[in-house]
Amino acid sequence: MERLQKVMAHAGIASRRASEKLIKEGRVKVNGEVVTEMGLNVSKNDTIEVDSIPITQEQTLYFLLNKPRGVISSAVDPKGRKTVVDFFPSVEQRIYPVGRLDYDTTGVILLTNDGELTNKLTHPTYGVEKTYVAKVTGLIDKKAIKTLEKGVVIDDYKTQPAKARILDINPTSKTSLVELTIHEGKNHQVKKMLMSVGFPVEKLTREKYAFLTTDGLQSGEWRELKGFEVSKLKLLVDD
């Protein structure tokens, strides 16, 4: 048994709070009866309708994909390009990515059908850590690293303090490897941050999402999250 609003959120109807609003507005029925009070528990056998349209109580699924370059972080692409969902042809349920990675960025991306968890993981309030490794043009120095750690202005917005460190400097190719851990997820944020200190990104990989990594996964491979990993993710964004 689970709370009605939680089941609605898992089904992708709306966030839990938005689902509560739908219930208060009298737009939800359980087994044909309008429900307006909070706290009702429902089972898999109950019929739930929102605006007279039945919702499907799907099994919640959680996956980690090692995203390759040249793949869109979306469920569908109008231009017909390959998407992260295309790596899951055997999964019958509708799943979607948690947040986005750029077309040419590789690494950790999560996919699920848990709408509530997705909303929380992508909401800036919770500040889930994401760690990237970037190959940049130029020989980066400690001054640039300190600037990144304090926060830089991109698109008229100052980024929050980050963790940064130099992994490697190659005088021959005049490139550097930089690790950057951020709590936000602005559009092209890592690329813009490094560009702002004078080091354009050549290649970018997301090495970690919270505590999750692509260890053991080749590019394009995926695995289902273990139960304890899902629980740990939920604890990170627990109200």
Annotated catalytic residues are 102
Q: Which phi and psi (to 5°) does residue 148 adopt? A: -60, -40
| Contact yes or no for 162/149 (Cβ under 8 A) | yes
Helices (H), 160-226: 189-196
Both structure tokens of 150: 């304090």
| Contact yes or no for 212/137 (Cβ under 8 A) | no
Look-up: residue for tokens 């750029």?
A: 102
Euclidean distance between CA atoms 22 and 35, whole angstroms: 10
Euclidean distance between CA atoms 120 and 114, whole angstroms: 10
Q: Which among 80, 33, 59, 18 is positioned nearest to 227, based on CA atoms? A: 59
Q: Report the Cα–Cα distance between both ends of the chain, in Å, rounded.
A: 20
